[in-house]
Amino acid sequence: MVTRRQFLLKSSLVGGAILSSSLFSKSGFAQAPAIITSEKMRPQIPYGVASGDININSAVIWSRTDRPARMIVEYSTNESFRDVQRIVGSAAMETTDYTSKLYLNSLPPGQQIFYRVLFQDLADINTYSARVSGTFRTPSTTKRNIFFAWSGDTAGQGWGINTELGGMKIYETIRKLKPDFFIHSGDTVYTDVPIQSEVKLEDGSIWKNITTEEKSKVAETLKEFRGNYIYNLLDENIRRFNAEVPQLVQWDDHEVRNNWYPGQVISNDDRYKVKSVSLLAARGKQAFLEYNPIRLDGNDPEQIYRSFNHGSLLEVFMLDERSYRGPNTPNRQTTASPETAFLGNSQVRWLKNKLQSSKATWKVIASDMPIGLVVRDGKTNFENFSNGDGPALGRELELAELLRFIKEKNIRNVVWLTVDVHYAAAHYYDPNKAQFTNFKPFWEFVAGPLNSGTFGPNELDNTFGPDVKFQSIPKDAKPNRSPKDGLQFFGTVKIDGQSEVMTVGLHNISGKILYSVDLQPEGRNS
């Protein structure tokens, strides 16, 4: 018997492809992974494997090959693959950029699952790829400790894969903590921010990026959107992370374009030949769904909002704050309308119903944008709920309705996790300090970025009474600090299986805990 770590390392070495950041084409762009010569005739798995959308007895397995081939997954509850189960999946074809996903169902709860992905060449059905392995743990139906992490914002502001600094090291830091799962809360890629080969830093040193053709311009074609996800997968830290940490993924604006909303027309950005943001968003969403281990809804295959049950202690609600919003405006409307939508009526109804019916002690809302921080879009418009101090107006009306509902239905232990602003913070929302007061007090924790420029801190909006308990950077911090400065952040959540106490920690790139707080659970819902 080998250890779990030895098993994964050995499997990655025989997976049919070796990635090297030192390989460049004559054009100066990073090439696709170099293939072992003896393996060239077999289907390849150049970007590894990933798992996600785990529930008590189900999970999604993702991978990509290099030709028309059928995905096959073998899985077992032990590393030696005794009593292995083999599931034949769908064909990876040109229409999905040779990505494929397979849904594993009827899994045993509370078990470490070891899986191997291989592809059968459809042009020669007797030829198979080498196997590439991964692992994840299913949630337990009994009370046990739960530990997970969250963050967001990968490869933003031109800060890409710098191999001289070890690549995107924060992913390796999180992997070593062995979380049960990871919430990527948006800006998984930056399709609107090209990556250049070199960036001169303030101290005169040079930040050096791996570059690719698709990342050298803003994404407009489907190929370019897909290339943004492939770019991140060139980083060995991310591939190793993906094989060992299941993910719950949502999107925000940079999967399409900064501050976008449905129906927007680009009028002042000459980088774009495609002016319809709706067209860009359709291509961006297709690439997002192709390259992430997301379980698609049979009734709405483009729906991103969804929830995940992790036994009696936790349920996670993943929001989509991009697809159903109205336009970005001064956000001061006094009555609700399609223009003030942020989640949209259908998603709000879904969230209310799911929160009210949840039997979990803790209800975690994963929001890709913060509540009480002001995020502007130009001089007069706003990007998220907030619009500055004062009563609930504009998009805040939708949030006020949701918070009022949570109080009226006495839904306990609701915690918000978010990213977007590129620094870490802890906010406590107190109705005694708010302009809108009809809500139960709650916590919001902010993390990020994973590998992007550091910004903030943002201006506070007093509508819902946020009190800053912690923020990771000073008020006079310089904007767009590179990851070399170490100001990259993620959060962790531990729920004790016996006491049900939730401990939230905010960490830096090395894993050091900068802030931690224990949250005592209120009585369970009836």
The pLDDT, as a whole number, for residue 39 is 62
Q: How many CA atoms lie within 13 A of 477 on its CB side?
A: 19
Q: With beta carbons less than 8 A apart as the criterion, state whether 15 and 45 touch.
A: yes
- Token pair for 458: 């943002």
Residues 6 or more apart in contact with residue 202 via CB below 8 angstroms: none
Find residue 85's DSSP bridge partners: 75
If you average pLDDT over every residue of the chain, what do you get?
Answer: 92
Rounded to whole angstroms, what are the CA distances from 408 to 71, 356, 396, 431? 48, 11, 18, 14
Q: What proportion of the chain, given as a percentage, has pLDDT over 90?
A: 89
Judging by DSSP bridges, how do beta strands 414-418 and 362-367 pair with one another? parallel
Strands (E), 296-399: 306-309, 314-318, 362-367, 376-377, 381-382
CATH class given for the domain over 154-519: alpha beta
The length of the chain in residues reads 526
The pLDDT, as a whole number, for residue 299 is 87
Q: With beta carbons less than 8 A apart as the criterion, state whether 230 and 19 touch.
A: no
The pLDDT, as a whole number, for residue 430 is 97
- Token pair for 11: 């499997």
Counting as low any pLDDT under 50, the low residues of the chain are: 1-28, 32-37, 525-526
Question: Position 208: which residue type?
Answer: K
- Token pair for 282: 């359709």
Residues 6 or more apart in contact with residue 507 via CB below 8 angstroms: 173, 489, 490, 491, 492, 513, 514
**Which of 351, 369, 348 is closest to 185 using CA atoms?**
369
| Alpha carbon distance 151, 249 (integer Å) | 10
Task: Give DSSP secondary structure letters for 10-50.
Answer: HHHHTSS-B--TT-B-TTSPBPSPBPPGGGTTS---TT-EE
User: In the chain, how many H helices and how many E strands?
Assistant: 7, 24
CA 467, 471, 477, 478 dihedral sign is negative
| Alpha carbon distance 270, 272 (integer Å) | 5
Strands (E), 58-144: 58-64, 69-76, 85-92, 99-104, 112-121, 132-137
Q: State phi, psi for 122 to the nearest 5 degrees.
A: -75, -20
**Which of 417, 288, 408 is closest to 296 using CA atoms?**
288
CA 463, 469, 474, 478 dihedral sign is negative
| Alpha carbon distance 20, 31 (integer Å) | 9
Task: Give DSSP secondary structure letters for 111-129.
Answer: -EEEEEEEEEESSSTT-BP
| Alpha carbon distance 52, 397 (integer Å) | 33
Rounded to whole angstroms, what are the CA distances from 128 to 43, 118, 131, 431, 496? 6, 7, 9, 61, 44
Rounded to whole angstroms, what are the CA distances from 405 to 66, 177, 338? 49, 36, 20
Same fold: 4-137 with 154-519: no
The pLDDT, as a whole number, for residue 34 is 46
H or E element that contains 250? strand 247-250
The pLDDT, as a whole number, for residue 390 is 96
The pLDDT, as a whole number, for residue 27 is 45
Strands (E), 295-412: 306-309, 314-318, 362-367, 376-377, 381-382
| Alpha carbon distance 329, 343 (integer Å) | 16
Choose which CATH entry (2.60.40.380, 3.90.1310.10, 3.40.50.2300, 3.40.50.1110) describes domain 4-137: 2.60.40.380
Residue spans of the domains in the chain: they are 4-137, 154-519
**Which of 230, 114, 239 is closest to 172 using CA atoms?**
239
Predicted confidence (pLDDT) per residue in 418-477, tens digit: 999 999 999 999 999 999 999 999 999 999 999 999 999 999 999 999 999 999 999 888
3-state secondary structure of 6: helix
Predicted confidence (pLDDT) per residue in 6-64, tens digit: 444 444 434 433 333 334 444 445 554 444 445 679 999 999 999 999 999 999 999 99
Judging by DSSP bridges, how do beta strands 466-471 and 490-495 pair with one another? unpaired
